[in-house]
Homo-oligomer: A and B are copies of this chain.
């Protein structure tokens, strides 16, 4: 890996992942959960499904201390701790998962799984089944012949995983962004199995606005000629399009304060005035380009497209917010972030009000910070006390 590539990856990691001061101190091991066959919500059967998972803490004898953590769009199951002491950063929610932390691993058994169709399909620490996987029926990668999947499909595979451990009830489900969507999908889909739901920077349905933006996110991949209808494995890949798609996600996830305070109108290079040549960039353009490009090596473009679709379809079997709300039995804690452009707090307050109106036990607080949507990853510990108190009830 060249030095410049390392710099890019480091910038991308800094932008998209959390880097808390203290790490979960157990040794984290990536395990694999396998299903010989899984039938999607859309009625298609996928053979040989495999997803990676991690756990922090110990499953008790009663098997009633399980907290399932679901990850965000561009994440994987590495929520806490380090695989090796020399890892540069721990898992993304390490600030709230660990011994004595809000999600206390002295008390809880925390399970975190890679999604079916994980974006990081090429990462050595992600195990997933998706469009880049070999279709046993053809011996070739699925590409766009992979079935359309939904948030419920992610949940269903997680359900099979925890059931394989003998777990029949979840003390809580928690997650950020797409993880919050899985959390609410869990609570709505399996209401008798979920006792508590902690939905951070997420909402209870995909709004029209979000569906539109997800379409915009996907557009660069579809424009890249190397995408080739999704048939690019073993050939030149649509890296330019994928980098642009990841760039849009970064800008929308970081939000206004991040962009204005850190970069404003600064140039990318002091001796290259953007007035002098079309190619001369502003600092924020350069950072966004690097953030997008830095994640291409471990990401799969088709997986990005399938995640877009899964997010747009959310919550696929409940046609309205009221329909979602009626399904839920769990106590809920909603934690949107100030300045969030992906799931604006306005929308989450609407969900809170609908839950309250339906008599559900719902608590609400906002996460402060300069990182918009990503406050829910980077600064989630600011609501650590609220999470701790909620889990104590």
Contact = CB atoms under 8 A, between A and B. Distances in A.
A285 B212 contact: yes
Contact of A277 (B148, B215, B224, B241): B148
A209 B313 contact: no
A376 interface: no
A207 interface: yes
Contact of A275 (B148, B241, B251, B256): B148
A240 interface: yes
Interface string A244-285: 100110010001100111111110000000111110011111
A206 B281 CA distance: 14
A208 B263 contact: yes
Interface string A185-204: 00000000000000000000
Given A275-B148, A275-B150, A259 B208 contact: yes
Identical subunits present:
2
Interface residues of A, number: 57
A316 to B, nearest CB: 6
Interface string A221-236: 0011100000000000
Given A220-B219, A256-B207, A264-B207, A275 B316 contact: yes
Of residues A206, A256, A316, which shows the largest number of chain B Cβ atoms within 10 Å of its Cβ?
A256
A327 interface: no
Nearest to A350: B260
A134 interface: no
- Residue among A144, A224, A225, A274 with the highest chain B CB neighbour number at 10 A: A274
Given A220-B220, A220-B223, A288 B215 contact: yes
Given A148-B276, A225-B225, A275-B316, 8 more contacts: A148-B278, A208-B259, A208-B283, A208-B284, A212-B251, A213-B251, A215-B282, A223-B224
Interface of A: 41-42, 144, 148, 150, 205-209, 211-213, 215-216, 219-220, 223-225, 240-241, 244, 247-248, 251, 255-256, 259-266, 274-278, 281-285, 288, 305-306, 309, 312-313, 316, 319, 341, 344, 346
